[in-house]
Structure 1
């Protein structure tokens, strides 16, 4: 028997490869399915099942393509109603896999079809649970991401309480918990950086598994402090439920080199957005006017999903040479399938063609502090509200990047703004968006709040409501 966790840091997502005696099951695969197929082929195994724990909201699963390419059967738990062929398992159903068994445990709460897969080894011992978003390490799945339901988040939290008490907590303490996500995912509130643990440890340290907790206390704790989910979540959930275009077609269309003339024409004729994915250092020095920057090196896909409001938006992009397929793949992971090619030769080719280049004005933290001490500056803090409330520059306005599209009308196009985040990534994204929308007087503060604090600038631990958008 073999169990392998395949963790993707950008999405804080865990897929799983399980194999026994020449048969394999994949749990919650990412959109690109080639790695799973190659892994099975290397091990001389046939993919028998594609097990989905629920209709995911934070990424587009590869279940449909994987089933078509391998003949594996897509499996969901009870109540799931997908728009394609799948086996809807009954609660307690046993799925044979080589010399082992996988038992389906219906664990509604995160969503109503949510299910946990219990692995039973060759000797008949219960060894591991693959919990999806039902149980994380240190947390549980948020109960407000289900696709079109009449149930409130409190109703779903109540179902989750019952699922944990009746299906998960009675299991043996030495069972290994394999969750669907780790720290950094928006599917929970307080996930651990660890991506596996024993159930016994979770019973001790996970707040949601306290044995003396009442249902009312559980519902209150699970629903308190939930921030609005990213706008792409319900759209991805619908794609996962109803189906989507093959990743092969998305890649074929997206990895097309465009010369400068073709690039310009595509932007104009298709009303395509220009997405620049290079390093922030390269971007601020020079970029194609109107470009939005989201760097491939960081939380690229989640920020694309949070900020580009239309999944069908035509996109052309600029990338470092050799990373073009990676960009298209990572866009498709969150449902952005309408990529129409990339600028061959990048910004250098654009400049050689005599085209204008824009740049982001920047200021170092020390120079900013000196200016702040002598002039009244308009500072936009683009971190999350919770970060801002913890500590911020006196007089700064909280302008969270997550909601920049919603709040843009609340700032003045003629005002000179200084932008910062925690480390410099988010503020460059925000600067690029504002410049693309016609805000000319934008200055990014290099290094963000981490570096600003070192310059003895005035900070406060508490927010004042009148300074927040």
Structure 2
């Protein structure tokens, strides 16, 4: 038997290569957009990828099923309710696919989406009647369950997930392995998602707090209470994944500094992918800091990019920038206007202007901070984090909403930007500067949780502020 989990670490997605080397056949479940790894593994194991299985029409990332089918000739299989606009085999609950001694059985688990299907794996060379693993897709994760509001009514979705869990997945034997469609960091799950790559049904029954709720109404209430903000791009990605098949994609090309300035003037989003320290030290005016050296680049970009305008990339080098084109396409961002050739080196060689952002530690902030002073503090975490506790006198605006500033922020006074660790604050600080604040401070080496651990004063949540245009 061949069984490999392949992850897209930036988006927290997991896909699977399954097959039988003696039979020379394999399938891929939920392929990511970059397909080279599947092709390399197939060559290594000496198998032919003849089938592609989708658990559902994904809402958080663009599937690689079109590229993989074009490269291998494999047939795409998806539940009948998905109704995609590409050539496929539609299956129903209980359908089976034989891959030599490996057997894959469809287990319809609606909720996250109506067509959502888990896959049970059987090894006919051991016990043909007992599954050894379940690919649970976007229903059951390690430590949590799927969010119920992506392209479906959230109440209906939560009830569907509850019934799929209770009637189907949790009725499996305790030793059945759980291999999910996402790991911690994905937009498709809740705050309890673990970074562990797998679990078992028995362990999740015992330790997953969402599964301890056996009343449907209580489960729904809990699921809806934990919902984070709904990403603005999910409907566009579902539309891409339903077809026609996405086979080619955007190609980034090098730009001169003059061309980058022209693109900015035409409304392009300039995305600086370098480290936040490099960005703070010097960056092109009007650019936004989204480092590609940490997980979450694609998610942040999808929140901030306008799909009707170009994105121009600035990396540490040209290779960085070209690699980010794939990350952008994975979340459906295809209007890539190019990248700054030779990156900041070319910009500085032409002696073009740069902007800078001041860096300050949480301890330095504490020494200077007064709710009535001239320094303003903007907390760019999510609403649930703010409600759990924040620094008295600070302003709230999640980083992805900083296309506008809170109305209470004075652009003429210094603005410090804080989050939970310093990473979202880097993006937030660049957006605050882009909105017209000249004196911007990026709080680094910790954030609000560290402030609380140090025993400094905390305040309860407040109502959402009104906004004014940037």
Answer whether TM exceeds 0.5 for this pair: yes
1:397-425 Cα offsets, whole Å, 9 max, x none, are 22221322365556443343211122222
Q: 2:144 aligns with which of 116, 124, 139?
A: 139
Cα–Cα, structure 1 residues 406 and 219, in superposed 2: closer, same or farther, change >3 Å? farther
Deviations 1:436-459 (A, max 9, x none): 232223222232426973996842
Q: Deviations over 1:349-402 (max 9, x none)?
A: 112112111111333444433322594532111122232333322211222213
Shift of 1:118: 0.9
| Pairing 1:109–2:111 present | yes
- Distance between the aligned counterparts of 1:410 and 1:306, measured in 2? 24
Residue number among 422, 431, 440 corresponding to 2:429 in the alignment: 431
Distance 1:92 1:456, change over 3 A: closer
Q: Secondary structure at the match of 2:378?
A: strand
1:336 equivalent in structure 2: 333
Show the counterpart of 1:242. Answer: 243
- Classify the secondary structure of the residue corresponding to 2:430: helix
Matched residue, 1:292 = 288
Report deviation, 1:109.
0.8
Distance 1:420-1:224 versus aligned 2 partners, 3 A rule: closer
Q: Which SS does the other structure have where 1:194 is aligned?
A: coil
Distance in structure 2 (CA, Å) of the matches to 1:423 and 1:155: 35
Q: How does 1:319-398 map to 2 (within 5 A)?
A: 319-321=315-317, 322-372=319-369, 375-398=373-396
Match of 1:8 in 2: 8
Structure 1: give runs of 5+ residues left out of the alignment: none
Q: Distance in 1 between matches of 2:162 and 2:368?
A: 54
Contact 1:131 1:177 in 2 (8 A): yes
Aligned match of 1:67:
69
- Where does residue 277 of structure 1 map in the other structure? 273
8 Å CA contact 1:107–1:114 kept in 2: the answer is yes
Q: When the two structures are superposed, what TM-score results if normalisation uses the length of structure 1?
A: 0.91
Of the three residues 444, 463, 466, the one matched with 2:461 is: 463
| Aligned Cα root-mean-square deviation (Å) | 2.4
Contact preservation (8 Å) 1:25, 1:50: yes
Query: Could you tell me which of 418, 421, 426 is aligned with 2:419?
Result: 421
- 1:133 is displaced (CA, Å) by 0.4
Query: Which sections of structure 2, spanning at least 5 residues, go unmatched?
Result: none
Farther-moved stretch of structure 1 (153-162 vs 114-123): 153-162
SS of residue paired to 1:262: helix
Aligned length: 458
Task: Please tell me whether residue 49 in structure 1 is matched to residue 51 in structure 2.
Answer: yes
Q: Is the 8 A contact 1:60 1:335 kept in 2?
A: yes
Q: Could you tell me whether the CA contact under 8 Å between 2:106 and 2:118 is conserved in 1?
A: yes
2:134 corresponds in structure 1 to 129
